[in-house]
Structure 1
Amino acid sequence: MSKKMHKIYVHIDNNCSSFIGEALYLAGTFNNWSPNHLYVGEIPEKGKSITVVLPEVQEGDLELKMSRGSWESLSTSGDGRLEGAHMTTVDAESEVFLTIESWRDLFPTSTASKQVHVLAEDFYFPKLNVYKKVWIYLPQNYLKDDRHYPVIYMHDGQHLFDEATSTGRAGPIEWMVDETIDGAITPSIVVAVAHDEDYKVRKEEYMVHAGEELSTAKGWWYLDDLVHRLKPYVDRQYRTLVNPLNTALVGSSLGGLVSIYAGLKYPEIFGVIGAFSPSIWMDEENLYAYASKELFSGEDKYSGQELYFYVGGREIKRRVGANEVNMGEDLGRYHLWLEQHYKGKLSLAINSEGKHGAIYWQSAFRRFYTHWENKINSFKHKNIQYECK
């Protein structure tokens, strides 16, 4: 049964003195987040407003953003930060109220803090036989002291620190990893590896098993390069705490899935795995089979490890030619299964209103980092000896 359509009146107040009279556009779920934003009129004078009508909006969730025609010219908060879309539920003819506070292109293109550096423009991954850009976040006092620091390795590096390099279905939202640690009491080093810009190649590099829709899977090679090439390099060049108690791996979506596999294969390397919104549905049968093989091997490899999961309660993936996938239910089943078989610690964070995207992983990472701080500080209080390089 097709969903009903409703008329939506969008009232837009302008609280910004720039770009008066220029073309104003809307983007959102009503046009499937098309990069060709919908022209709705001219930007009114500061303190004035305009009303536009979206004549046919499908019943259900509606998300909206304002722009001047491109992702580079989105409306922002007063301090220039991109925010999540305005969200409402459409079940009848209704009104939406938006306010222009400022515009993204009035502020510097880069949002990365000065603690973020390019470790290498072309770091060689020998198993994959590719060169990847790698960023490193160094704590604020790194050059002022001689401490060794915990390390978090992360996938999809271009989305973590900087709106200038991030991309997304609803615009260039970054995770604000650097801002989170800038404001933390206990600092860490973060090593962030760029994904391939070709989505098909990214999928190959983050999937460890081939399937009907994927003829080649290179995820094991990617993880091998992380463990045997990148991590040793980082430990040689920087003051790191190298043992698994102080080493985490974090990723989202396919990056969350490959992180789970990394935790299963390399518990002696990664003491904490952060899997945000993992795409279990893309390799579910193989994941359970591989986990069973490793967990039932008879070895006590996981007692000191923690698997930290996050998922949004509204993460629904629509598969072409198949039923919808509820990612929360997928992760809930896997978490329940692990409770019966996994000897390490399990943590599960749920945002009941969360969807699949970077704006939600921003807050998920902040929550994870508080958890991580508490964990590494508990090592200190228990007088666990840190292993330095």
Structure 2
Amino acid sequence: MAVVDLPHRLKEIRDKTSEAINYSIDSISAFREEERERLFEYRARKEEIIKELDEAIKAADKAEADYRRSRAVLLTASRSGDERREKEAYENAARLMRVRGAFEEREKLLARQRDDIAREERRIEKLLVRSEEMGNRFRIALNLLNMSFDDVDELTGAGGDNPLLASMMLAERESMSLSRDLHDGPVQKFAGVGLMLDISKEYLDRRDLDRLGDELSRTRLHLADALEEMRSFLFQLNPSGLREGLFVPLGRLVNEIKSFSGCDVRFRIEGGADVLSLQKRTAVYKIIQQAVINAVRGGQAAKVRITVNLSLGFLSVKIVDDGKGFDVTEANAKAEERGAWGLVNMRERARMIGGELKVESSPGRGTTVTLEVPID
């Protein structure tokens, strides 16, 4: 009976499985990139159609007004008894009726195209959310597969409440969120710059220097906006100054939020917030950052107040905004479906540093986020 080298055989199986998972991850990434490009094209086309539809509606309204006037002229001509005048008025009214009908048909056609594109846009958005989650699961499976068996036992031995597994899940969710924000923000703006440069080249080829100058000026402003958004994005990835404390990075966060949103954001630190370890300080900062971004982007808040206070062995944080608020229970239930992990990540970060996070909100009444973290 042949002796089976079990460890070697298991390694072969693991390597082949790892290769298959890597291939699946690459395929999902390629699929997602193609769908993102399609989504960008659909959104650009939808904007064009909306503009064309607006023009068609205005033209149809004008044609309707012209047709009504022509009917009044026809009525007057028929009463005058002048056959030649009546014939001309009739032909003009008939022509305007056809023009009106053509514009109305175009309006209906454009409205159908707009609705079709909107449906396709929603379908692609759902595909991107699902594929994002699928890729996340494949990456976690790959990480588990590449661990030693002892590591896997240690990871799964805590009944699903292991800090390492939680960190992996948090990192994957954050990676997906950052990827989406990068694509929907700076990447879209830089793509827009490319389109504007193409338009500029057309003006240059036609020697239309006036329009060329205007388009290049708009391109310059658009590029400056894209670069500013990229700098803000990089700061979110790696906020500087956390080793020295919370004051400097929070100050910069407030300035960044103010610059791109115009929201009145202020913060106050009472006591020695710097007594936290770097790990806890980073987690606290990330929670505050996410809460403020949620307030400004999702809540459309005009005012946000951040208070950090040290007392009785705890660091307390309170973020209050006057935004539109939301149903917390519903938001938690639909987080995975919408791929919106902000609240989930905030709670996970708080739990990982032994803290407690509470979110109080309701539609039309703003949001209050409170965090308590034990001092080291």
User: Which range, TM-score by smaller chain?
Assistant: under 0.3
Query: Larger Cα Rg: Structure 1 or Structure 2?
Result: 2
> Which has the larger helix fraction?
2
TM-score scaled by length of structure 2 = 0.24
